[in-house]
């Protein structure tokens, strides 16, 4: 059965919407968006990608209703789904939009609609689609991540630290990050106070891309002072540690 999409605003935009834009458009047309739980809206602030699909439809004698499934992929790898109900309750009337966070609430709202019980109906099976972006490798924190990247790069003393391209990307689009200690090297005999630590600073960008910077902290300096170096790859960071250690061996 063909579905009269002209009754609902579901034609894809000329350019792809961001997850934030899609959510804003959905909430803007829904009459009951204020009823959604605040926690659900807060979780959607960290959405990386979204997908929408027609779930079911019901048409008879000029009356109609459609339900749509809107799903967002979040930074922690989980997903949030909102259900949209689009319907007209009188012949020739404008379509109305409602949104629900729970499928049971959607069914209850659908049951209240004045549609004939013998109207033709179809329901599409739930389809599992591949995630638009890879599942994040880290559990991120949204805590002024661009400023964290700025402070990390500012304290790096090595000449071969990450270049302007990575720096600009992080400062403009990083919105979540995680710090993990990847390596600790104990002091060697006869070199009290000499040691290395390696940290991975993983950043999540607004387009779903993940970038890691590798920080080496050490005291392998001629005067034994503490030094920070930052590298774009783990391999480069470990190679730097070996070079430092060899000079003072």
| pLDDT tens readout for residues 132-149 | 444 556 677 777 888 999
Q: Do the Cβ atoms of 224 and 201 come closer than 8 Å?
A: no
Give the SS3 label for residue 154. Answer: helix
Tokens of 161: 């630290």
Residue where the block lists tokens 């991975």: 200
Query: Which residue intervals of the chain are DSSP H helices?
Result: 19-29, 38-44, 103-111, 145-155, 164-173, 234-247
In the chain, what percentage of residues exceed pLDDT 90?
Answer: 28
Q: Do the Cβ atoms of 248 and 191 come closer than 8 Å?
A: yes
pLDDT of residue 85: 93
Contacts with 120 (C-beta within 8 Å, 6 or more apart), sequence order: 1, 58, 59, 60
* 175-222 residue pLDDT tens: 888 898 876 554 443 444 457 889 999 998 877 788 999 999 988 887
125 has a pLDDT exceeding 50: no
Residue 43 neighbours by CB distance under 10 Å: 17
As a whole number of angstroms, the distance between CA 91 and CA 63 comes to: 6
Give the mean pLDDT of the chain.
78
In the chain, what percentage of residues exceed pLDDT 70?
Answer: 77
As a whole number of angstroms, the distance between CA 95 and CA 205 comes to: 37
Band of residue 154 on the pLDDT scale cut at 50, 70, 90? very high
Task: Please give the average per-residue pLDDT across 3-26, as a whole number.
Answer: 61
């Amino acid at each position: 059965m063909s579905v009269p999409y002209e009754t609902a605003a579901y034609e894809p935009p000329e350019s792809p919407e961001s997850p934030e834009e899609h959510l804003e458009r959905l909430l803007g047309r829904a009459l009951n968006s204020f009823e959604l739980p605040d926690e659900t809206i807060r979780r959607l602030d960290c959405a990386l990608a979204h997908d929408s699909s027609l779930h079911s439809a019901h048409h008879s004698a000029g009356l109609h209703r459609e339900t749509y499934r809107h799903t967002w992929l979040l930074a922690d790898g989980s997903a949030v789904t909102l259900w949209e109900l689009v319907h007209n309750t009188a012949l020739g009337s404008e379509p109305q939009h409602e949104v629900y966070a729970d499928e049971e609430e959607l069914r209850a709202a659908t049951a209240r609609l004045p549609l004939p019980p013998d109207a033709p109906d179809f329901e599409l099976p739930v389809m599992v689609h591949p995630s638009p972006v890879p599942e994040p490798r880290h559990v991120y924190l949204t805590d002024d991540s661009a400023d964290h990247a700025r402070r990390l790069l500012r304290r790096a003393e090595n000449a071969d630290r990450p270049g302007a391209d990575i720096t600009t990307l992080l400062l403009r689009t990083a919105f979540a990050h995680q710090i993990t200690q990847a390596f600790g090297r104990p002091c060697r005999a006869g070199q009290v106070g000499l040691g290395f630590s390696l940290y991975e600073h993983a950043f999540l960008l607004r387009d779903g891309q993940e970038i890691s910077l590798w920080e080496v902290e050490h005291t392998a300096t001629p005067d034994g002072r503490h030094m920070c170096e930052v590298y774009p790859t783990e391999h480069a960071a470990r190679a730097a540690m070996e070079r430092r250690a060899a000079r003072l061996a």
